């Protein structure tokens, strides 16, 4: 297989896996927190928060990438401040991970939120009446029950991050070896004569990785569901 793919193709695959992994890891804690807040809490502006969370699903990806560039570019609202701290997102792989995380965040939140809403609140209330704190109730009662949902959301996040194109190319461009992920590499190969075969190979790799991730999540999800139910 090493002979089947060239160095540029391997570079795009490695970068995509790196971006998708960090996008997923970086989204997990805030995604679970936001999902729990939307599922269990009542607070002013809840629908606005819900709308903002799901906005990347509605906006064109290019528009999301442009907003990221305006906010986290070196001259952006947050980017200029972060630059002084030595943190730069624009035109770097970290920016690709940020763009992928933003685009996939709604999928993670929705999957986890549905799992939380499926948990009977009386179970959490019963644990609370025994003197357990909210955090302890979440960790010992809610978390085990929603693990399949968290896993499903994480896999969706990873798969979406692997395939993210519009926001990524707008925010971090398409720099070989730095920001050229699988989708942008496929796009680049299709723009040059004779690049169709390389593009087809990368498409095959994309399909393989996506199917492997989905099958793995299905297996682990069923295993965790059996453990939770005690069967």
Please report the pLDDT score of residue 124 as a whole number: 80
Please report the pLDDT score of residue 95 as a whole number: 93
pLDDT (tens digit per residue) in 159-212? 899 989 999 999 999 888 889 999 999 999 998 888 889 899 999 998 888 888
Lowest average pLDDT, out of 147-151, 221-225, 227-231, goes to 227-231
- State how far Cα 28 lies from the chain centre: 8
pLDDT (tens digit per residue) in 197-226? 989 999 999 888 888 877 877 777 677 667
Model confidence at 24: pLDDT above 90: yes
Please state, for a pLDDT cut of 70, what percent of the chain lies above it: 95
More confident residue, 152 or 130: 152
206 and 182 Cβ atoms separated by less than 8 Å? yes
Please report the pLDDT score of residue 75 as a whole number: 85
The confidence band for 15, taking pLDDT boundaries of 50, 70 and 90, is: very high
Please report the pLDDT score of residue 230 as a whole number: 58
Model confidence at 129: pLDDT above 90: no
At residue 229, what are phi and psi to the nearest 5 degrees? -75, -15
Please report the pLDDT score of residue 71 as a whole number: 92
The confidence band for 120, taking pLDDT boundaries of 50, 70 and 90, is: confident
Q: Quickly list H helices, 73-131.
A: 79-84, 93-117, 121-129
Model confidence at 131: pLDDT above 70: yes
159 and 100 Cβ atoms separated by less than 8 Å? no
The confidence band for 123, taking pLDDT boundaries of 50, 70 and 90, is: confident
**Which H helix or E strand runs over 199?**
helix 196-229
More confident residue, 194 or 103: 103
Please report the pLDDT score of residue 229 as a whole number: 63
More confident residue, 131 or 80: 80
The confidence band for 2, taking pLDDT boundaries of 50, 70 and 90, is: low
Q: Could you give the CA distance from residue 45 to residue 188 in angstroms, rounded to a whole number?
A: 43
At residue 27, what are phi and psi to the nearest 5 degrees? -90, -20
Residue with tokens 């819900």: 50
The confidence band for 231, taking pLDDT boundaries of 50, 70 and 90, is: low
Model confidence at 52: pLDDT above 90: yes
């Amino acid at each position: 297989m090493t002979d089947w793919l060239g160095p540029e193709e391997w570079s795009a695959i490695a970068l995509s896996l790196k971006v998708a992994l960090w996008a997923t890891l970086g989204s997990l804690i805030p995604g679970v927190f936001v999902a729990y807040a939307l599922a269990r809490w009542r607070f002013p502006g809840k629908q606005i928060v819900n709308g903002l969370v799901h906005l990347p699903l509605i906006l064109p990806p290019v528009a999301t990438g442009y907003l990221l560039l305006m906010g986290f570019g070196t001259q952006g609202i947050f980017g200029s401040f972060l630059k002084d701290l030595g943190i730069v997102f624009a035109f770097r792989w970290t920016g690709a991970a940020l763009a992928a995380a933003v685009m996939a965040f709604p999928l993670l939140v929705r999957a986890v939120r549905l799992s939380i809403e499926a948990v009977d609140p009386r179970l959490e209330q019963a644990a609370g009446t025994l003197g357990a704190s909210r955090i302890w109730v979440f960790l010992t009662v809610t978390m085990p029950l929603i693990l399949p949902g968290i896993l499903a959301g994480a896999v969706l996040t990873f798969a979406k991050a692997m395939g993210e194109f519009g926001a990524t190319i707008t925010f971090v461009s398409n720099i070989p070896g730095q920001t050229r992920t699988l989708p942008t590499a496929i796009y680049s190969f299709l723009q040059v004569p004779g690049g169709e075969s390389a593009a087809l190979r990368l498409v095959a790799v994309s399909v393989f990785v996506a199917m492997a991730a989905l099958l793995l999540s299905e297996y682990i999800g069923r295993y965790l569901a059996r453990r939770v139910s005690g069967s």
